[in-house]
Amino acid sequence: MFIDTHAHLEAVDDLDGVLNRAKNIGVGVIVTIGTSLETSKKAVKIAKEFSTDNLKIYAICGIHPKDGKSDIEKFGLYRCIKTLKQIAKSSKKVVGIGEVGLDHYLKQETGNKKQETSSREKKVQKKLFEAQIKLAGELKLPMVIHCRNGWEEIFSLLTTNYRLRTKIRGVFHSWTGDWDAVKAALDLGFYISFSGIVTFKNAFVIQDVARRIPLERVLVETDSPFLSPEPFRGKPNEPKNVKIVGKLIADLRGLPFDKISEVTTRNAQELFGI
């Protein structure tokens, strides 16, 4: 069995078909992720209505640093966190807080200084992330963390929330960092999740991490309908493709495919309590 620890089921087409195809190839659990108040509510609804004995679905609720921008502008931070807390406590299907973190676009990525993440936006993202760190600690739920160009600040924010430190745990999803970043994440007790990016032909740094990281800290995901693995790049992704990610990691490490299935499933169960 495989567990897809990160999918956005509210965004996929033909949800029934997607779930059936996942079930038919041995995916036993899918964790569907919210990125705003609205999609967090949808994640809980999908987990309640589409979960079966053969394919269990759980929900993660959170406000993404980019996708949740309109929520913050419309309702304000305090009200957003209050509402998110209500959503997270509304069902036992909710097993974490996420997708949260920092998302900083740089000028060299956009080619346009106007599209670079502004200092003001960075401050808002930081306050939002800090508030959700505290919420995760309060609710004793693991965090699902998104990071673009913010490794040092994320590690600093996690570390300096010392009063909650013993309660903070979670996973860095769709890993794109180097080995030094991995060591910092592992030192904080976090898991590392690999998506279809690890299968890309030029993903040498990420593949090196997947080869060296302790197995007891590895998770697998699809980030469906995004980040389709080779050979399906450019096409909508599906939870069934989590097996492709697992197979690539097995090959990188010279391990049996079943071993990666067993270990990543156990890791996900331990982290999310499922």
- Residue pair 220/243 in contact (Cβ under 8 Å)? The answer is no
pLDDT for the residue 110 = 53
Q: Which CATH architecture has domain 2-272?
A: Alpha-Beta Barrel (3.20)
Q: Which structure tokens are listed for 82?
A: 């209050």
d(CA 186, CA 62): 22
Kindly list the domain boundaries of the chain, sorted by start residue: 2-272
Helix and strand totals (H; E) in the chain? 11, 8
Examine the pLDDT at 111 and tell me if it is beyond 80.
Answer: no
d(CA 72, CA 82): 12
The string of DSSP letters for 114-146 reads GGSPPHHHHHHHHHHHHHHHHHHHHHT--EEEE
Kindly report which listed range (78-87, 120-129, 160-169, 252-261) carries the lowest average pLDDT score: 160-169
Q: Which structure tokens are listed for 195?
A: 């998506």
For residue 156, the one-letter residue type is S
* Banded model confidence at residue 116, pLDDT cuts 50, 70, 90: confident
For residue 219, the one-letter residue type is L
- Residues 191-204 have pLDDT tens digits of 999 999 999 999 99
Examine the pLDDT at 103 and tell me if it is beyond 80.
Answer: yes
d(CA 121, CA 253): 40
What average pLDDT does this structure show over 59-79? 93
Q: Decide the pairing of beta strands 56-61 and 94-103.
A: parallel
pLDDT for the residue 192 = 98
What average pLDDT does this structure show over 82-109? 91
Examine the pLDDT at 161 and tell me if it is beyond 80.
Answer: no
* Total-model pTM: 0.95
d(CA 103, CA 125): 8
